[in-house]
A and B are shown apart, each in its own frame.
Chain A
Amino acid sequence: MALKMVKGSIDRMFDKNLQDLVRGIRNHKEDEAKYISQCIDEIKQELKQDNIAVKANAVCKLTYLQMLGYDISWAAFNVVEVMSAPKFTFKRIGYLAASQCFHEGTDVIMLTTNQIRKDLSSPSQYDTGVALTGLSCFVTPDLARDLANDIMTLMSHTKPYIRKKAVLIMYKVFLKYPESLRPAFPRLKEKLEDPDPGVQSAAVNVICELARRNPKNYLSLAPLFFKLMTSSTNNWVLIKIIKLFGALTPLEPRLGKKLIEPLTNLIHSTSAMSLLYECVNTVIAVLISLSSGMPNHSASIQLCVQKLRILIEDSDQNLKYLGLLAMSKILRTHPKSVQAHKDLVLQCLDDKDESIRLRALDLLYGMVSKKNLMEIVKKLMMHVDKAEGTAYRDELLTKIIDICSQSNYQHITNFEWYISILVELTRLEGTRHGHLIAAQMLDVAIRVKAIRRFAVSQMSALLDSAHLVASSTQRNGICEVLYAAAWICGEFSEHLQEPQRTLEAMLRPRVTTLPGHIQAVYVQNVVKLYAAILQQKEQAGDSQAAQEATQLLVERLPQFVQSADLEVQERASCILQLVKHVQKLQAKDMPVAEEVSALFAGELNPVAPKAQKKVPVPEGLDLDAWINEPLSDSESEDEAPKAIFHDEEQRPAKQRPPEADEQELARRREARKQEQANNPFYIKSSPSPQKRYQDTPGVDHIPVVQIDLSVPLKVPGMPMSDQYVKLEEERRHQQRLEKDRKRKKKRERERRGTRRHSSLHTESDEDIAPAQRVDIVTEEMPENALPSDEDDKDPNDPYRALDIDLDKPLADSEKLPVQKHRNAETSKSPEKEDVPVVEKKSKKPKKKEKQHKEKERGRGKKEAAGRGEDLDFWLSTTPPAAAPAPEEPGVKASVTAPEEEREEPQGEEQAADEGEQDPEKKPSKHKKKKHKKDKEERPKDKKKSRKKASREGAAEPVENGALDEEPLPPMSSYCLLAENSYIKMTYDIQGSLQEDSRVTVSMVLENQSSSFLKSMELNVLDSLNARLARPEGSSVHDGVPVPFQLPPGISNEAQFVFTIQSIVMAQKLKGTLSFIAKNDEGSTHEKLDFKLHFPCTSYLITTPCYSDAFAKLLESGDLSMSSIKVDGISMSFQNLLAKICFHHHFSVVERVDSCASMYSRSIQGHHVCLLVKKGEKSVSVDGKCNDSTLLSNLLEEMKGTLAQC
């Protein structure tokens, strides 16, 4: 044996280790693949040996090969073997390999559950640590479910090294097994205040990560984080918290207000740039969320912008980059303050670093205004010329288009300028954004009517020089603009000056080298042009010219007929036939123009991009149903149509009336001409040599008329946008002059005595009148379109499952699955062992859940509302500095104590008393059992009821729960309502904060007879003040049916909701329960009268309260006061308090010796504060409340309770 071991280790000496492998690979540069495959063979041999050290060595080498891209999943089982080695050295190798190559699909993972569990509970902290690290990389939903409880235990490990790892890995567990979040959360929250900074940081890390995805569930933690932020000195933690606040503020603007001050302090004080930067970022987020709320935040903005400027001006490129990034966030809400730094941003455009240039470009987008658009775009155009590398140039191009077209061309004052910019952009070689430019050209030409004439002249020039653009015919290349050019020239052919010339340009043989979809547009628009020419010539009586045009088409169209592109071919041959027909008619000297142009009659409207989607599906139409059952073989079906549809998409949709008669057409044209004539702006926009409407009366007041643009228009592709900049300046200058003139006049008039309001002269955006009337046609939407934008949340988002309300108290059913038979000595396969346990677990709670669902829900809401109140209090307290330090322990105690208590029963005795844990919750079936037990095992019951008290939310005496050992007497809030030989009714009333003032009466009905009770119906005589909520449609005299029947000896609970108007007085309602009792002899109709008593107490809702908020409340002075004193009390103070908490729905705020302050809230929002003092044999209660009547009634009721003590 010993010999064998020695032999093994000597063998091992000559095995390759990792270093040898690496060295070998480096020595075999030429035949690396071969060498490695040889090594893999060796490794396979090594893995077959029994010696675990050899195996570990092999796995270690495999891990290295994995990094080089080799698949090692075949060795997964060996990895598991090495993981389970007893020695840490090997274990670590195994876990490393697993973390590198295991994933959810790896099937051996399920073999690891027990091994990992064993390692987690190992006495060596490094075994545990290495298991946690490995698990964090390959945890699966199954592993998460099975190990969640073990990991949760580790969160309270004595070693901080383990604690912090356990805390961190919980995030991964939550992701894979969201059900674990709620049970584990209280402990996680505890870890925020762990003494070890590493653990604390880990907890912050996890909660921040959780909160980032579902911030609203974590709002209630804000006070805690706020405390951490003001106390922590660890920058990592601070950064995380500050980032978290950035995510929370949009949900709660008041939080922002509270944050501003400490954040500004941090900004001023910190020397760490990373912290400074995050502070600035969060302040920005706060300001965004407050944008309307706070009047004087301009100082904060100035501070941010100023700090960011420092960052941007820094020589460190990283800071510069981040500065720009943050700046763009401010820009969204406060563009003015950023625009002041335009110089800086433009300077960054010249930076050698592309990332920085791109960020600067982003900023420019928001910085443009009517005033500076031209200037900025000019600068960008210069960069376009200079830019090397097409990627950046393309980025510039898209940015220019984005900037100009943003919010419906809001900033463009001169569309001629914009068109020229677009034309200039067409000169970019090798860009891949031709389609973008084309789309812009089309959009502008269609939507800005006034620009059409100019656009057409530019486009015809473009078509004329198409050879320049068409040199590269790649898809989406610049040739795409020809698509737009051809279409615009065709559609708006009435604006063409030399239609014939354009027609010829479109029929050049070179055109056939263009992509098919462009050719198709060419062909179609050639006809439009042709129609326009016919019209023109026939009107002029020049039939010769008309025939020439026809002849041209007949000659040139055949080149398209031969096209390989189906679309082109089809259109061309169609049109060729048409033209030939026209030719015949022309030969007979018949007028054809009207008929040909009728083909293209009609106005054209832009359609909103979403319009198609919004067309509602007509009733009875099932879009998913097959019209024809598909053939079994569908090969190559989808390729051809795809291309066609793609083309179709780019073509703007046309809506044409099928036939518009010629008269109508003529009428429309006439109307349009009229309209143009009357449109003063129209003239300005047609700076062509033929200024047709120039002499029209009534236009001479237009400021800019004398612009001679005829020259540049002739020369395509010449940079002329610059001219517009100059012109624009002139124009504005003139406008200003004119305004001044007007103002002078006004002033004169004012001097003459007429009082007019005169405004200050500032050249703001609004003052700049656009050169064209920007008649931007709104996009059409289908009728009865659905208005809502369906939010497209990704249903596969893994974080959605973590959107869980954490404020609800834990239900019994919410527990982490616990492995019961942990030490299975026999090496059974873990599957078999795990599955049944889990199943048992999950079945049990389910049943319960159903039973308590309703109740649970109601209570959850109540509790959640209570927490919300906490936050309200915290938020409403003024400056954070005022948060009184000495009171903090009290605060802490009242927050954490209930948590702990909720924890305890869970960890220890969960399964044991799961069944009877909560008698109050399951009063029905266990009623009888409970009575029996009362007698049998008194002590246990006491324990139970105590638990019940705490579960009720009545924060049982907090500071000293463990000190006083005196047991609490059993308490039940259910009191007798009515009883006869058939049935016994007990009830309890609970308020709820939802909607208007409502209380829920839970009524337990117990069948005391041997008859079967059915058709139970409850009816109440409503008073003015209190009403039974009846099902819709029933009258006030109808009863409410009880939703169950009662066999003999069974009890069940029904709930009824009552609406209460005024809650200051106790109420009494008379009612009747009617039912049919059926037994062997027959059935009888029975009824039982009762008086339902609503004490004022029943309108109170247990609401926890922080002591500082409590103090504020008392100080506020708008509460009235009253007090009572009860003598002859022998009960201990603790029990007394518990009694008040339980029966009167109060919570303890603070307790000092024999004096306690308590708080509660009514369903209508009254605050009720109590000061309870115990003297010798007497108790005095001082109360303060918004309403004195309510208070005195409450105190009377309390007197009754105390008198029984």
Chain B
Amino acid sequence: MIKAILIFNNHGKPRLSKFYQPYVSTPPPPIRSEDTQQQIIRETFHLVSKRDENVCNFLEGGLLIGGSDNKLIYRHYATLYFVFCVDSSESELGILDLIQVFVETLDKCFENVCELDLIFHVDKVHNILAEMVMGGMVLETNMNEIVTQIDAQNKLEKSEAGLAGAPARAVSAVKNMNLPEIPRNINIGDISIKVPNLPSFK
């Protein structure tokens, strides 16, 4: 089982957080409270950020993330950390590959993805993730399949917006015009980190 998926940047700012199991904080009433989640993000960032570039990608979990059975498996792409917290039923190398598939899928869906894409479209990232992992279990590992489903859903969305959506789109385009060009330089260029490859993924 995957217990949580976190994405944060080099400064620990969360870009996506997905918790698949409630973290019970004592006293009981606030079960999956935002505070616990923030604390987990902070602690994870603290653990991960102090590690060198060329050390292994596995970490025995902190206390908050729950139990000795759990592991943090992470990858660092440019400005972003992708961290999966998993228990012992997951294959470590398999999850590393999954992260790679995830990032490659993001890259495909956003066309040369960068941190800003994740900042402004966290909902889309969630949707992509939902096609890969469901309730903490791996749903699909084939990138083409994921992209197909995402495209189909986007098409559905567009058809629903129809004419009524047009003015909104125009306004948003106008709003964006006033901004300086979104910098695209923080891309995840170094995707070619050596991956022990599972042939089926490619």
Which residues of A approach B to under 8 Å, CB–CB?
A: 5, 9-10, 12-14, 17-20, 22-23, 26, 60, 63-64, 66-71, 87-89, 92-93, 96, 100, 103-105, 124, 126, 130, 132-133, 136-137, 139, 161, 164-165, 168-169, 171-172, 198, 201-202, 205-206, 208-209, 212, 233-236, 239, 243, 271-275, 277-278, 316-322, 352-356
Contacts and interface: CB of A to CB of B under 8 A. Distances in A.
Given A168-B135, A274-B94, A316 B38 contact: no
Contact of A278 (B29, B91, B175, B200): B91
B126 interface: yes
Interface residues of B, number: 69
Given A68-B14, A70-B34, A105 B29 contact: yes
Contacts of A168: 134-135, 137, 139
A354 B50 CA distance: 11
16 contacts: A10-B167, A19-B120, A66-B34, A71-B33, A87-B160, A89-B157, A92-B153, A96-B130, A103-B31, A136-B134, A137-B135, A233-B200, A236-B138, A243-B89, A316-B194, A316-B196
B32 interface: yes
Contacts of A272: 196-199
Contacts of A71: 33-34
Given A18-B120, A105-B29, A139-B135, 20 more contacts: A10-B167, A13-B167, A19-B172, A22-B120, A26-B119, A67-B14, A89-B157, A124-B156, A169-B135, A234-B200, A274-B97, A277-B93, A317-B56, A319-B196, A321-B56, A322-B93, A353-B52, A355-B55, A355-B56, A355-B59
Q: Interface centre among B121, B156, B161, by most A CB within 10 Å?
A: B156
Nearest to B22: A103
Nearest to B20: A137
Given A234-B200, A318-B93, A9 B168 contact: yes
Contacts of A318: 56-58, 92-93, 96, 196
Interface in B7-55: 14, 16-18, 20, 22, 29, 31-35, 37-38, 52, 54-55
B154 to A, nearest CB: 10
Contacts of A20: 175
Contacts of B172: 17, 19
Q: Interface centre among A201, A208, A236, A322, by most B CB within 10 Å?
A: A236
Given A13-B168, A89-B161, A209 B137 contact: yes
B191 interface: no
A69 B34 contact: yes
Pick the 4 closest A-B CB pairs, nearest first: A136-B135, A274-B93, A273-B196, A317-B56
B184 to A, nearest CB: 16
Given A243-B89, A272-B199, A320-B56, A67 B138 contact: no
A13 B171 contact: yes
Contacts of A354: 55
A208 B89 contact: yes
A104 B200 contact: no
B92 to A, nearest CB: 6
Interface in B151-202: 152-153, 156-157, 160-161, 164, 167-168, 171-172, 175, 179, 194, 196-201
Contacts of A209: 1, 89, 137
A352 B17 contact: no
Nearest to A277: B93
A132 B54 CA distance: 39
Given A137-B135, A236-B141, A353-B56, A14 B171 contact: yes
B127 interface: yes
A895 B140 CA distance: 29
B56 A239 contact: no
B196 A205 contact: no
A1102 to B, nearest CB: 36
Nearest to A160: B145
Nearest to B130: A133
Contact of B22 (A13, A104, A136): A104
B149 interface: yes
B137 A206 contact: yes
B65 to A, nearest CB: 16
A105 B96 CA distance: 34
A69 B160 contact: no
A68 B122 CA distance: 12
Nearest to B41: A69
Contacts of A68: 14
A103 B34 CA distance: 12
A1182 B200 CA distance: 51
Nearest to B175: A20
Given A272-B197, A274-B91, A104 B31 contact: yes
Interface string B124-144: 001100100011111111100
Interface of A is mostly: helix
Interface in B68-100: 89, 91-94, 96-97
Contacts of B37: 69
A88 B55 CA distance: 44
A67 to B, nearest CB: 5
A198 B140 contact: yes
Contacts of B1: 209
Q: Interface centre among A68, A89, A126, A320, by most B CB within 10 Å?
A: A89
A26 B116 CA distance: 11
A355 B33 CA distance: 31
A63 B123 contact: yes
A22 B156 contact: no
Contacts of B33: 71
Contacts of A161: 149
B31 A105 contact: yes
Contacts of B201: 235
Contacts of B91: 239, 243, 274, 277-278
Given A22-B119, A67-B14, A235 B200 contact: yes
A13 B170 CA distance: 9
A353 B38 contact: no
A1010 B99 CA distance: 79
B55 to A, nearest CB: 4
Contacts of B198: 235-236, 272, 274-275
Contacts of A23: 120, 179
Q: Interface centre among B52, B123, B127, B164, by most A CB within 10 Å?
A: B123
Q: Interface centre among B17, B34, B122, by most A CB within 10 Å?
A: B34
Contacts of A133: 130, 134-135
A886 to B, nearest CB: 29
Contacts of B137: 168, 171, 202, 205-206, 209
Nearest to B60: A355
B152 A126 contact: yes
A30 to B, nearest CB: 16
B56 A9 contact: no
A26 to B, nearest CB: 8
B58 to A, nearest CB: 6
A289 B179 CA distance: 65
A92 B135 CA distance: 16
A20 B198 CA distance: 41
B157 to A, nearest CB: 5
A169 to B, nearest CB: 6
Nearest to A53: B164
Contacts of B142: 198
B94 A239 contact: yes
B89 A212 contact: yes
B95 to A, nearest CB: 9
A89 B156 CA distance: 8
Nearest to B164: A9
B11 to A, nearest CB: 12
Contacts of B121: 18-19
Nearest to A358: B60
Nearest to B17: A67
Contacts of B152: 126
B139 A164 contact: yes
B162 to A, nearest CB: 10
A71 B127 CA distance: 22
A19 B121 CA distance: 7
